Amino acid sequence: MKLAGLKSVENAHDESVWAATWVPATDTRGALLLTGSLDETVKLWRSDELVPERTNTGHCLGVASLAAHPSGLIAASASLDSFVRVFDVDTNATIATLEAPPSEVWQLRFNPQGSTLAVAGGGSASIKLWDTATWDLVATLPIPRPEGPKPSDKSGSKKFVLSVAWSPDGKRLACGSMDGTISIFDVARGKFLHHLEGHFMPVRSLVYSPIEPRLLFSASDDTRVHMYDAEGKSLVGVMSGHASWVLSVDVSPDGAAIATGSSDTTVRLWDLSMRAAVQTMSNHTDLVWGVAFRPPGGSGVRAGRLASVSDDKSISLYDYS
Amino acid sequence: MACLYIPVQNSEEEVRVALDQLPRDAADILDILKAEQAPLDLWLIIAREYFKQGKVEQFRQILEEGSGPEIDEYYSDVRYERIAILNALGAYYSYLGKIETKQREKEEHFILATQYYNKASRIDMHEPSTWVGKGQLLLAKGDVEQASAAFKIVLDGDRDNVPALLGQACVEFNRGRYSESLELYKRALQVHPDCPAAVRLGIGLCRYKLGQFDKARQAFERVLQLDPENVEALVALAIMDLHTNEAAGIRTGMLKMQRAFEIYPYFAMALNYLANHFFFTGQHFLVEQLTETALAVTNHGPTKSHSYYNLARSYHSKGDYEKAGLYYMASAKEINSPYEFIFPYYGLGQVQLKLRDFRSAQLNFEKVLEVYPDNCETLKALGHIYVQLGQTEKGQEFMRKATKIDPRDSQAFLELGELLISSDSGAALDAFKTARGLLKKGGQEVPIELLNNVGVLHFERGEFELAEQTFKEGLGDGIWLAFIEGRENFQEIAASESIHQYKDVQFFQQLQDSGRQVKLPWNKVTTLFNLARLQEQLHNPETASILYRLILFKYPDYEDAYLRLAAIAKARNNVQLSIELVVHDALKVNDKCPNALSMLGELELKNDDWVKAKETFRAASDATDGKDSYATLSLGNWNYFAAIRNEKRNPKLEATHLEKAKELYTRVLLQHPANLYAANGAGVVLAEKGHFDVSKDIFAQVQEAASGNIFVQMPDVWINLAHVYFAQGNFALAVKMYQNCLRKFYYNTDSQILLYLARTHYEAEQWQDCKKTLLRAIHLAPSNYTLRFDAGVTMQKFSASTLQKEKKTADEVRSTIAELENAVRLFSHLSAASNLHFHGFDEKKIDTHVEYCKNVLDAAKPHLEAAMREEQQIRQRQEVARQVALAEEARRKAEEHRKFQLERRKQEDELKRVRLQEEHFQRIKEQWKSSTPASKRRERSEIDDEEGGNSEKRRRKGGKRRKKDKSSKSRYETEEVEAEMMDDQEDPEDEDANLSYRDLASQNDQDDAEENAHDPLAAAGLEDSDAEDEAVPSTNTGRRKQAWSESDDDEPPERQPFSRENSPELQESDEEVREDGHKPNGNAAAEDED
């Protein structure tokens, strides 16, 4: 289990790169890397050489989050102005522009079936679900607020929703908030199930294990990655070692490792059987906002790939084996 | 059987006297002697016989009768016998005088002896035996020179006179001329080979003194052969045995000493040696008895000194330092110079050191050092004393000398290291390492304390791996290894219980129940604690936590471990657990623990519990009688915050609080002039008062001092410095300073500093930088809506300033429009969000703002269209002009030049038109402003009553608030107070305290951002509830808004003509907007200037 640097692109964007995701391979092309930046553009990168494929413009105030549809045909990008732009990956044609004021937009995720786009709604303390066929807002899953006499006091902002993750079967949705709590929803019934506690600082990234449907990983500003049994409500493991906020977490397609990106400028690879960091990559010189494993599939791409993006405007690609 | 025959007078008969049957009453014999007029030599023989039998009285009686005047008369011609009798008496009294301890009787005896000898001399002044006797007497009196003269007289007459030879030998011995003495003894032995054992004793002593130990031993042994009861020889042999320093030698030596004691229990030297022995075997009772006896039986100075020394030592080792000191002094008094016997001075020094009488101890040790300039122990002791006296450098010098003299003395290196810890950690580390190397080379076990210190020093120098290795080496094998290496899985806990995870020690109980040994020797606790601290530093808080809990499982009173656990919880933002740990655990161990109280205060502040926090800080301060700098500084900070909090409400209160804060900082500085945090605090107060130059100096010094120690993390001073640069208008430096601080201390994650940075860009009119910075901040702190508001304001400002530019392209106008749209979007989001109470903004205010922006935008849109049209035209004309120019160029250059000028003129026309359009836009804006409903205005002015004052006043306030903005950060740093106070004591435990303390500081650092953000809210929280809704937004945003508005005051004059066109009524509306504090755009401010 190791990472080997393949390619780095300095100044991939004009400004900090804030988001990265892989667009799965289609019949006609291989997987693409999608990156979003404060420079208000989304860029597409092809092959291990990270050849720039295209630059999408049209966002204002910085692209904060990206999501790719499992089909690999469409993708969504969201910016700080709270617009979500859904576009055709290959043509860059805008398919839909989504907004649900006053809800902001933070992390986006398509469900594994591709039927729904979940959007972390920031200060609205809810997740918005959009139908990918009609692009209608189909549901709002609110996080129950703690009972309090003054709803306007500062606890209000603490349920600010930052991150979302779908379970592999698409039945569960997890969301992480500013105050560190993670909420689990039953999607089919649109019902809040329970909280997972343990973090007390913002949870900026969440991901379910692809092989163990109950296993959820969370990355928090408290420098730790937690490993939860999301159904049993138990904290299974704590992985600490980053010197600063953990901004992003992704799990490898084989489910054996996770990668994290942190504001300590490092990317770490964690062996889940040992629950310990086995490798630390220091390619970047500033906050690492995103790490993403390339999904399997496509022609001749059995090899694992991990991409990382950073405030230092660069993107890096690693071989994962 | 020896018999004596006394001839009967005038007959041939004799009286037969059996010498072993002498009558008890000497008078019987005397009668016979007198009656028979027996020859005087018989008298002497009988007297001597009595003496031999120990019947001293009878001896004296006979001799005194035999020296009476009658005898003188009767035997007047028997000179030799008379002299012999007198000499015998003289010798007897000399002896009495010699052994007598009471001074008066002693002298009386000596006087008698002198009288007898003088009488003998009168009979025959050339009689050698008289001279020998006199010599002995003088020797006994200690008059060595005269004794020598007496013996010389004899020897001049007869160089083989044995008694004189012996006497002279004794003289020479006393003079320290041992070889001469030896020669004399030898001669005596040659002359008189059968002489008593004592002669050989003399030879032995001389040889001993000459260092010929083997020959000395032979001599002593010969003495013992001749006289097995000879105590001196026994003692001498015993001493020689003891000095072999081998176990066997010491044993036989002690046996001999014991025998000597049994033969003659009053031999002072033997007593001293025995006492010495029993001192080492720890039988202090015997020591006292023996030395007291020895003191009673001797007058000999050095021997007495030795006895006193033994006694003192005994008390010393028993811990009775007062008595020991007295006896050491008595011992020292018995000797003439320290060169004779230095030990009592050393002992005295030690005792005085113990009693903390450093000056006297220093004098005594210096005496020792005079005699033994290279004595390591003394050098070390002196080094220690100098340190205690505050002369650290001299102390180190001595310690260094000690290590130089004996580079294999690990102890010296150890002490040197401890001395250096506080001043030069690098040198200290070297010393410790040398000590460790020496101990290892010597095959000795390296004490864990040493390894702990080495580890801590590595730790402090940031050499974490070495530190970890060292700590692990010190700890050795144990249960902790399993935790450090992560072999033991201690993380399976239900998520709901994870909150209590940090308090849980059940886990160890389970381990123990399952048969594992959970052991933690007491001497390893400190090192384990340090290792845990190191794990924290290495970002393994989980490991650290389990180690702390292991300590607490075994030693539930270890406060620092609770505090560290609390700090870990605090770092995770788990304030509740943190408070619980402090209150329920740490304070339960010691409810006066200032560290725990200070920490609790911090936590209460974090919880916005201002009143409580103040009480807690005060309690912490009281617990240490105000000597605890941390508590004092915390109070100072509290006052500073209070000053800022209250500023708007009550300027008088602000001044009081500020004054109080200054006083507290100053107090700490008086106690600890090197306290960085106090200096920083003082700098902040000065900056608050506008003394930027002074405060800048202070901050710069603090910043310099704070670099280089991983435990002193003072990002705040960087921020303060940046604030000062900012306040002085040095924006470029301020930006650099903020950026460095962000990178160096916060991994670029602190949104508050980004905000400062943005504000600096704003002030420097770098709108895009400002916007980008704010967007970054939003990305880092998504729930901080203030940042969004600020971003909106920036975009507005950018648009406005672009539109005000005299020259601008349609692209610029377009981007301006785009920015305005973004601003509207941001504001309307804020407005919509306010319905949901996401943030504390007042709904109406936001609405006003949104409406305003929308209006601007509406006004701008047609303007944009116009601008675009204009641009289109310009571009067409430019195209034409370009072609014309090209054509002309083809023809003539001069022609081209003229054309070019023409073209330029045209361009200017275009621009003029554009500007006209801008003005049009402006007017529309103003119109909108004036259309703001008056009712709203009134309502608002009611609320913000005091704010409604004249603009002059407002400007002043604005300036003030700017400072506050600036220092609102700085105060936080002052909060991290701590450090210094606990500065480095040699004790490893203290080191720990330091560790924990320092960490508290860094915790604070982390919290700064959040606390700052909440601070205004906190302030609001203390105000009465009905005012709260209003207060929250006003404090929260007002600060920043004020900042914006202030910058407007400084608007460059060239823009003024532009705004001068506005009608007076428009001003009013501007005023209104400003009252809201929403500072819509730069124009309004510029108008205010009019």
Q: Could you tell me if residue A151 is inside a domain?
A: no
| Closest approach of A299 to chain B, Cα-based (Å) | 37
> What is d(CA A69, CA A295) in angstroms, rounded to the nearest whole number?
12
pLDDT digits (tens, 9 = 90+) for B573-596: 888 788 887 877 778 778 778 888
Q: What is the CATH number of the domain that holds A30?
A: 2.130.10.10
Which has more pLDDT, B557 or B956?
B557
Q: Could you tell me if residue A258 is inside a domain?
A: yes
Q: Which of B541, B556, B571 is the last residue of a domain?
A: B556
Least CB-CB distance to A244: which of B747, B1014, B1017? B747
Give the mean model confidence (pLDDT) for residues B513-538: 83
Q: Identify whether residues B804 and B917 lie together within a single domain.
A: yes
Q: For residue B887, what pLDDT band results from cuts at 50, 70 and 90?
A: confident
| Closest approach of A226 to chain B, Cα-based (Å) | 10
Q: Which of B556, B572, B598 is the last residue of a domain?
A: B556
Put simply, the answer to whether A198 touches B495 (Cβ < 8 Å) is: yes
The predicted pLDDT at position A257 comes to 93
The predicted pLDDT at position B32 comes to 76
Disruptive mutation site among A18, A38, A238 for chain B (greatest number of B CBs within 10 Å)? A238
Residue B251 reports pLDDT greater than 60: yes
Nearest residue of chain A to residue B499 (CA atoms): A198
CA angle B44, B47, B51 (to 5 degrees): 130
Tokens for B471, please give them. Answer: 């700590």
- Please compute Rg for chain A using Cα positions: 18
Q: Which amino acid is at B860?
A: A
Residue B278 reports pLDDT greater than 70: yes
Q: Identify whether residues B413 and B350 lie together within a single domain.
A: no
Q: Identify whether residues B359 and B406 lie together within a single domain.
A: no
Q: Identify whether residues B826 and B893 lie together within a single domain.
A: yes
Least CB-CB distance to B782: which of A122, A245, A311? A122
Residue A27 reports pLDDT greater than 90: no
The predicted pLDDT at position B992 comes to 37
CB contacts of B499 in chain A (<8 Å) are: 197-198
Nearest residue of chain A to residue B489 (CA atoms): A237
Put simply, the answer to whether B573 touches A152 (Cβ < 8 Å) is: no
> What is d(CA A114, CA A72) in angstroms, rounded to the nearest whole number?
10
> What is d(CA A67, CA B787) in angstroms, rounded to the nearest whole number?
26
Put simply, the answer to whether B783 touches A276 (Cβ < 8 Å) is: no
CB contacts of B540 in chain A (<8 Å) are: 240-241
Give the mean model confidence (pLDDT) for residues B821-835: 76
Give the mean model confidence (pLDDT) for residues B150-178: 79
Tokens for B977, please give them. Answer: 């107070």
Taking alpha carbons only, the member of B686, B770, B691, B753 closest to residue B1047 is B770
A200 lies within 8 A of chain B by CB: yes
Put simply, the answer to whether B835 touches A102 (Cβ < 8 Å) is: yes
Q: Could you tell me if residue B91 is inside a domain?
A: no
The predicted pLDDT at position B1029 comes to 36
Residue B115, SS3?
A: helix
Residue B981 reports pLDDT greater than 50: no
Q: Identify whether residues B438 and B479 lie together within a single domain.
A: no
> Among residues of chain B, what percentage have pLDDT more than 90?
3
Residue B270 reports pLDDT greater than 50: yes
Put simply, the answer to whether B833 touches A201 (Cβ < 8 Å) is: no
Provide the domain limits for residue B324. 276-373
The predicted pLDDT at position A292 comes to 95
Q: Could you tell me if residue B595 is inside a domain?
A: no
Least CB-CB distance to B772: which of A15, A123, A237? A15
Put simply, the answer to whether A81 touches B822 (Cβ < 8 Å) is: yes
Tokens for B377, please give them. Answer: 């122990």
pLDDT digits (tens, 9 = 90+) for B484-499: 776 555 544 433 444 4
Taking alpha carbons only, the member of A162, A34, A76, A141 closest to residue B780 is A162
Q: Could you tell me if residue A262 is inside a domain?
A: yes
A319 lies within 8 A of chain B by CB: no
Q: Could you tell me if residue B506 is inside a domain?
A: yes
User: What's chain B's average pLDDT?
Assistant: 73
Contacts A–B by Cβ distance under 8 A = 146
Q: Which helix (H) or strand (E) holds A110?
A: strand A108-110
Least CB-CB distance to B840: which of A61, A152, A200? A152
SS3 readout for B183-233: HHHHHHHHHCCCCCHHHHHHHHHHHHHCCCHHHHHHHHHHHHHHCCCCHHH
Tally of structural domains, chain A: 1
CB contacts of A101 in chain B (<8 Å) are: 828-829, 832
- Which residues pair with residue A250 across a beta bridge? A259
A271 lies within 8 A of chain B by CB: no
Q: Identify whether residues B366 and B393 lie together within a single domain.
A: no
Provide the domain limits for residue A42. 3-145+157-320
Q: Could you tell me if residue B797 is inside a domain?
A: yes
The predicted pLDDT at position B496 comes to 41
Q: Identify whether residues B882 and B901 lie together within a single domain.
A: yes
pLDDT digits (tens, 9 = 90+) for B381-421: 888 788 777 777 777 788 788 777 777 777 778 777 877 77
CB contacts of B542 in chain A (<8 Å) are: 224, 238, 240
Task: Kindly state the DSSP code that residue A72 receives in the 8-state scheme.
Answer: S
Q: Are the C-beta atoms of B395 and B386 separated by less than 8 Å?
A: yes
- B272-281, B546-555, B644-653: which has the highest mean pLDDT? B546-555
pLDDT digits (tens, 9 = 90+) for A154-170: 444 468 899 999 999 99
Q: For residue B1010, what pLDDT band results from cuts at 50, 70 and 90?
A: very low
| Closest approach of A83 to chain B, Cα-based (Å) | 10
Counting every residue written for chain A, the total comes to 321
Residue B784 reports pLDDT greater than 90: no
Q: Identify whether residues B453 and B535 lie together within a single domain.
A: yes
The predicted pLDDT at position B808 comes to 66
Q: For residue B677, what pLDDT band results from cuts at 50, 70 and 90?
A: confident
The predicted pLDDT at position B1017 comes to 35
- Please compute Rg for chain B using Cα positions: 51
Q: Identify whether residues B432 and B453 lie together within a single domain.
A: no
CA angle B835, B838, B844 (to 5 degrees): 40
| Closest approach of B839 to chain A, Cα-based (Å) | 7
pLDDT digits (tens, 9 = 90+) for B527-560: 889 988 888 888 888 888 888 888 888 888 888 8
Give the mean model confidence (pLDDT) for residues B853-881: 75
**Cβ count near A303 (within 10 Å):** 12
Taking alpha carbons only, the member of B246, B249, B221, B216 closest to residue B234 is B221
Q: Which of B12-26, B176-190, B317-331, B628-642 has the lowest mean pLDDT?
A: B12-26
| Closest approach of B585 to chain A, Cα-based (Å) | 21
User: What's chain A's average pLDDT?
Assistant: 89
Question: Which residues, 6 or more positions from A21, have their beta carbon under 8 angstroms from its beta carbon?
Answer: A33, A34, A66, A67, A68, A75, A290, A292
Put simply, the answer to whether A156 touches B785 (Cβ < 8 Å) is: no
Q: Are the C-beta atoms of B859 and B928 separated by less than 8 Å?
A: yes
Put simply, the answer to whether B495 touches A244 (Cβ < 8 Å) is: no
Give the mean model confidence (pLDDT) for residues B1067-1090: 35
Tally of structural domains, chain B: 4
Nearest residue of chain B to residue A104 (CA atoms): B829
- A285-299, B136-150, B360-374, B397-411: which has the highest mean pLDDT? A285-299
Least CB-CB distance to A106: which of B542, B782, B825? B782
Q: Are the C-beta atoms of A314 and A284 separated by less than 8 Å?
A: yes
The predicted pLDDT at position A131 comes to 93
- Listed as own residue / partner, the contacts of B415-419 with beta carbons closer than 8 Å and 24 or more positions apart are B415/B380, B415/B383, B415/B384, B416/B383, B417/B453, B418/B453, B418/B986, B419/B383, B419/B384, B419/B387, B419/B392, B419/B395, B419/B986
Q: Could you tell me if residue B33 is inside a domain?
A: no
Residue B647 reports pLDDT greater than 90: no
The predicted pLDDT at position B504 comes to 65
Nearest residue of chain A to residue B502 (CA atoms): A198
Which has more pLDDT, B1008 or B658?
B658
Least CB-CB distance to B838: which of A156, A200, A236? A156
Q: Identify whether residues B436 and B470 lie together within a single domain.
A: no
The predicted pLDDT at position B649 comes to 58
The predicted pLDDT at position B576 comes to 79
Ramachandran angles phi, psi of B820, nearest 5°: -65, -40
Q: Which of B81-85, B377-381, B953-957 has the lowest mean pLDDT?
A: B953-957
The predicted pLDDT at position A75 comes to 94
Residue A261, SS3?
A: strand
Q: Could you tell me if residue A120 is inside a domain?
A: yes
The predicted pLDDT at position B481 comes to 77
> Among residues of chain B, what percentage have pLDDT more than 70?
79
> What is d(CA B1057, CA B820) in angstroms, rounded to the nearest whole number?
24
Measured in Å, how far apart are chain A's first and last C-alpha atoms? Answer: 5
Q: Which of B276-285, B463-472, B645-654, B979-988 has the lowest mean pLDDT?
A: B979-988
| Closest approach of A124 to chain B, Cα-based (Å) | 7
Put simply, the answer to whether B539 touches A241 (Cβ < 8 Å) is: yes
Q: Which of B348, B373, B398 is the last residue of a domain?
A: B373
Nearest residue of chain A to residue B787 (CA atoms): A80
Least CB-CB distance to B540: which of A235, A240, A264? A240
| Closest approach of A217 to chain B, Cα-based (Å) | 13
The predicted pLDDT at position B829 comes to 78
